Amino acid sequence: MNIAIVCYPTFGGSGVVATELGHALSVLGHEIHFITYKQPVRLDTLNKNIFFHEVFVPEYDLFHYQPYELALSSRIVDVVKEYKIDVLHVHYAIPHAYAAYMSKMILKDHGVYIPIVTTLHGTDITLVGSHPFYKSAVAFSINNSDYVTSVSKSLKEDTENSFEINKSIIVIPNFIDVDKNSHLERPCHRDLIANSEEMIITHISNFRPLKRIKDVIKVFKIIQNKIPSKLLMIGEGPEKIKAQKFVKKNNLGKSVLFLGKSNEVDDLLCYSDLFLLPSEKESFGLAALEAMIHKVPIISSNVGGLPEVNIENVSGYLSDPGNFKEMGKNAIKILSDAKEHKRFKEGAFKQAKKFDISKIIPKYISVYKKAIKGVI
C-alpha cells in the first residue's frame, strides 16, 4: 500500500507514535509518505520506502494568522495525486482530519477517491476539541472520516460522551518496539548521574500544567527524605521555569537535574529506578510505557488511559491526581525493598510487552484495508 501520514513532527506522543508506525510499515514493504511542516523528530529518511513532504506556508501581510490548514490541504492533494496514495492516515482531529476532509473533496472533483483514517490522541479531544470554538469542527472531522481509531478505551469514551459522534471508534493502543528497546546492549553509566547508594527517579513530559510538574517534585522530596535519590527532569515546556524556582525554594538544587529535550531517553531510562507521571489528564501514557520496557516501575495518577497501561501492584501504583503524599508513600514502598523493587521491574516489563509493535501494526493494516475496500 501507498500510505500518507499527517502528524505533528514534535517530541510529543502523537508525533512519535505516527513516526514509529510509518517506519514499521515501511519495513513491511509499504510506501510511506509523511506530510507535515518539518521533518518529524524520529524520522529515518535513509529508507527507500519513506518519503517526507514539507508543508510550506507562504506569509502574507493580509493574514494575521497564516492559513496552515489550506496549505496542508493543498499539499495532501498534490501528494495523493503524484504518488497514487491508497489511504490517508491523519493523527489529530484538529487540524489534520479537518484538512484531510477538504483534500478529499478537492480530489473528488478530480475523480480521485481517498479514504481517511483518523487517530485520536487526546489533546484534540480533551483540550482543543472541548473548546466551544472548535467543538463543531472536531465532531465534523470525526464523523466525516472513513475510520476512526483511539489510543485508549478511556479516550474513546471521552470522545463519545463529549461529541455527537455517529462513527464507530476502534481502540488501537499506542505501542513500543520490544526488540529495539530490550535487546540493545548499552552500557549503563549510573555513576555519571548519581552515587552508588542513590536511587534515580525520572520524569519525562512537555512540562505543561496538566502534567502537574510541582507534584513530581513534591513526590521526589518525600522519597528523598527517606532514600538518597536524584531526580531527572527531561523535557521542555511552560512550567519548567516555575519548577526550577520551586526546586530552589525547597533546597533541592543539587538533587534535581533539568536535562531539557533529549535524544538519549533510552540511556536515561536505563539509569532509572522509578518513573513519575502524576498527570491531571493522560489519554494513554506513552512516556510510562517507554519507561516500563526498560524495567522501570511507575508511580502515576489514575486518570484517562493510565490504568490501561500501569497496572496497580504489578507495574507500579496509581493514585488520584494531586495525592502526592500517597504517591510518595507508594514510591518508598517500591524502592525500600530490593525484592519488591525487582518484582515491580519485572512486572513493568511484562506489562509493556503486551503493547509490542508486532501486535499493534496488524490492527492498523486491517483498518487501512477496510477503508480502501470501502471506498473502492
Are 269 and 202 contacting, i.e. CB atoms less than 8 angstroms apart?
Answer: yes
Query: Which H, E and C letters describe the chain, residue by residue?
Result: CEEEEECCCCCCHHHHHHHHHHHHHHHCCCEEEEEECCCCCCCCCCCCCEEEEECCCCCCCCCCCCCHHHHHHHHHHHHHHHHCCCEEEEECHHHHHHHHHHHHHHHHHCCCCCCEEEEECCHHHHCCCCCCCCHHHHHHHHHCCCEEEECCHHHHHHHHHHCCCCCCEEECCCCECHHHHHCCCCCCCHHHCCCCCCEEEEEECCCCHHHCHHHHHHHHHHHHHHCCEEEEEECCCCCHHHHHHHHHHCCCCCCEEEEECCCCHHHHHHHCCEEEECCCCCCCCHHHHHHHCCCCCEEEECCCCHHHHCCECCCEEEECCCCHHHHHHHHHHHHCCHHHHHHHHHHHHHHHHHHEHHHHHHHHHHHHHHHHHHHC
Q: Assess whether 108 and 238 both reside in one domain.
A: no
> Residues 93, 237: one domain?
no
State the residue range of the domain holding 131: 2-175+356-375
Q: Which pLDDT tens digits describe the chain residue by residue (376 residues)?
A: 999 999 887 756 677 888 899 999 999 999 999 999 888 776 766 788 999 999 988 777 776 667 788 889 999 999 999 999 999 999 988 788 889 999 999 999 999 999 999 999 886 676 554 567 778 888 888 999 999 999 999 999 989 988 889 999 999 999 998 887 664 555 667 877 888 889 999 999 999 999 999 999 999 999 999 999 999 999 999 999 999 999 999 999 999 999 998 878 888 898 899 999 999 999 999 999 999 999 999 999 999 999 999 999 999 999 999 999 999 999 999 999 999 999 999 999 999 999 999 999 999 999 999 999 885 4
> What is the reported pLDDT for 376?
43
- Do both 252 and 301 map to the same domain? yes
pLDDT in tens, 192-244: 788 888 999 999 999 999 999 999 999 999 999 999 999 999 999 999 999 99
**How many domains does one find in the chain?**
2
Q: Are residues 167 and 206 in the same domain?
A: no
The Cα–Cα gap between 372 and 376 comes to 6
C-alpha distances out from residue 301 to 59, 278, 368, Å: 43, 5, 34
For residues 72 and 166, membership in a common domain is answered with yes
Residue 40 and residue 117 in one domain: yes
Compute the radius of gyration of the chain from its Cα atoms: 21
Predicted TM-score of the model (pTM): 0.89
Nearest-5° Cα angle at 275, 324 to 200 = 105
Span 11-44, pLDDT tens digits: 566 778 888 999 999 999 999 999 998 887 767 6
CATH assignment at residue 130: 3.40.50.2000
Residue 281 and residue 135 share a domain = no
Structural contact between residues 142 and 163, judged by C-beta atoms closer than 8 angstroms: yes
Domain match, 152 and 201 both: no
Q: Do residues 194 and 286 both lie within one domain?
A: yes
Q: What are phi and psi of 355, to 5 degrees?
A: -105, 25
Residues 70 and 148 in one domain: yes
Distance, CA of 312 to CA of 146 (rounded, Å): 36
226 and 334 belong to one structural domain: yes
Do 201 and 309 share a structural domain?
A: yes
